[in-house]
Structure 1
């Protein structure tokens, strides 16, 4: 067993255009003051980080690492959630994604796709330059409009979806392998990989690629009514990253799992600040620790009720209190008999 590292903080939801949340050094100091030991950097946010520059310049990477080291905070991982999702976009979502991509790519889905794939590939080398061994992203989605369809899906549609996903992602996974970095997909509704079954479909399609791994986030499973603790039993060998995010699912006579047309406050399934939802983090941390997970426990805040400043302050302590410092000896060692094999055979009544 190994002790989970943390607490870490994903910066994406805390970014603002005002200090201290508008520069990497400013937000790093802010996070450090709350007790965070590491930050997870959204690579698309130019206020914090320039992924293209980091790819072109090892010196730039060293400068960023040095500034953060002086502050006393580490980088847990880099994130390409937004770029990864743009690797595979169904045309129904083109107009909305144009609002998230650089202006020169808008109105050109194919150009956007190649740019996104290149961004995710670049993050592999940059991760290596930072001494990181994990990276987090999304798979994107080609089949989500057909998630619960009528008329029924034609035969072979889902198989073709995952075959196409493999054609797009297998070369990217190979780049991550060349750089010694695990690409951890966040399993998430609206992505083609949204639960265990779809992860297995994707994994099969990429030939069981050793760099195809999981960013575990129980909040996405709570809202799907899944066994989020049992999920760790099934997939612990592929879980290489950990987002600590709380959520709740409170179905009513009017609404259940498919309550996404309502605003966040009115949804049966919604994200909450740590300790305010239904995730049993005692069980989650115990299970991950038991399986030897030694990555970072990184807080991702997406609560629709609590102020982010309060959530950040309380979240650091919440994670620290749940990290289990693993023992290096058994609790009953005090009663050890010191028996050897001969003594054991004698105790069993077995002759030498």
Structure 2
């Protein structure tokens, strides 16, 4: 029997601020609940909302978090470690930029930063299990991205070695998720080494086909690359364990295509939009995911360069609710059932007995 997609959920990362009601987990949860959200996806790096290190050490803290959210009438859908996962693999070209984001004690120390980041993602496995969660979302980070275009000609083996190193870094982390019974779902995203289906296949091979290596599906990243985002579900539905609901558009011009001409988000041919303002066919996506018995959460991630986040959040809950298909528990033509058994079927086929 098919299962109905859960939702609506809201990813909190883009809404957290230093002012109420967006500066604590309880207050932002109430804010989301008032807009009609049933779940919240929580960034594990933002201590205004959630203290990952404390949660790792304290069962009491985890129980208190779940208890407070239950009183509000909302649940955590998943934890996110996009921020830390990105730092598991950083090409040296980006070291200075990541120095501005990592903990102060690791500035100028790429190896220290890498080990801190990997430890953070591992902690999320245990904390997810404590919170009763079965999926987690992250990024793979990138070693190969600066070499995406094959000019100057890449030396033989460069990309293969990048993915081999990714496998060495991520397989122990995936083993930690196996120990806790949690799926680690990578967001397939430009600037990551896993930015499309081919690169996810390479990463999956590098980690030995690990069963905890799965996908957070987000069509916005595929439409901006000109990919078949519906066909992607057909190919990878067995690995799709999470779902970001995010709209996007791609409007190429005589001057600009996928790469965006170094323009800002507002001026790019490929850009994210609020739900219903872009080109993603969500009716088809929800149908396909329901067809393949996806039973996870539909979580809104807002990244629009035009619409105000408060308006987008308010409208997003209804948009998702209107697209969730409550799956049927019976076949529509059951009322015409003939009652034919095996013996009669054989007779209908001209066979004896």
Q: Secondary structure at the match of 1:287?
A: helix
Cα–Cα, structure 1 residues 131 and 210, in superposed 2: closer, same or farther, change >3 Å? same
Number of the residue aligned with 2:321: 320
**In 2: Cα distance, 1:244 partner to 1:172 partner:** 27
Q: What SS does structure 2 have at the residue aligned with 1:254?
A: coil
Show CA shifts across 1:185-210 (max 9, x none): 00000000000000000000111000
Give how far 1:100 is off. 1.2
Residue in 1 that maps onto 2:6: 5
C-alpha deviation, 1:149, in angstroms: 4.0
- Which 4+ runs in 1 deviate beyond 3 A? none
The 5 A counterparts of 1:167-316 are: 167-259=168-260, 261-316=262-317
Shift of 1:150: 2.3
What is the rounded CA distance, in whole Å, between the counterparts of 2:313 and 2:350 in structure 1? 61
* Residue 84 (structure 2) aligns with: 83
Segments of structure 2 that go 5 or more residues without pairing to the other structure are none
Match in the other structure for 1:140: 141
The alpha-carbon deviation at position 44 of structure 1 amounts to 0.3
Distance in 1 of aligned mates of 2:188 and 2:104:
28
Report deviation, 1:249.
Answer: 0.2
Q: CA RMSD in A?
A: 0.6
The TM-score, its normalising length taken from structure 2, stands at: 0.99
Deviations 1:116-149 (A, max 9, x none): 0000000000000011110000000001111114
- Which moves more between the two structures, 95-104 or 64-73? 95-104
Secondary structure, aligned partner of 2:101 = coil
Q: How far does the alpha carbon of each residue in 1:141-181 deviate from its partner, in whole angstroms, 9 at most, with x for none?
A: 00111111421110000100000000000000000000000
Q: Which residue of 2 aligns with 1:109?
A: 110
Partner secondary structure for residue 186 of structure 2: strand
- What SS does structure 2 have at the residue aligned with 1:9? strand
Between the aligned partners of 1:222 and 1:52, the Cα distance in structure 2 is: 37
How far, CA to CA, are the matches of 1:152 and 1:242 in structure 2? 36
**1-side partners of 2:348 and 2:279: how far apart?**
49
1:122 paired to 2:123 = yes
> Tell me, which stretches of 5 or more residues in structure 1 are unaligned?
none
Residue by residue over 1:233-274, the C-alpha shift from the partner in whole angstroms, topping out at 9 and shown as x without a partner, is 000000000000000000000000111510111000000000
Query: How far did residue 351 of structure 1 move?
Result: 1.1
For residues 76 and 260 of structure 1, do their structure 2 counterparts lie closer, same or farther at Cα, with a shift above 3 Å needed? farther
> Are 2:5 and 1:19 aligned?
no
Partner of 2:51: 50
> What is the rounded CA distance, in whole Å, between the counterparts of 2:158 and 2:122 in structure 1?
28
Shift of 1:16: 1.1
Q: CA deviation at 1:346?
A: 1.4
Partner of 1:162: 163
Offset at 1:88? 0.2
Counterpart position of 2:343: 342
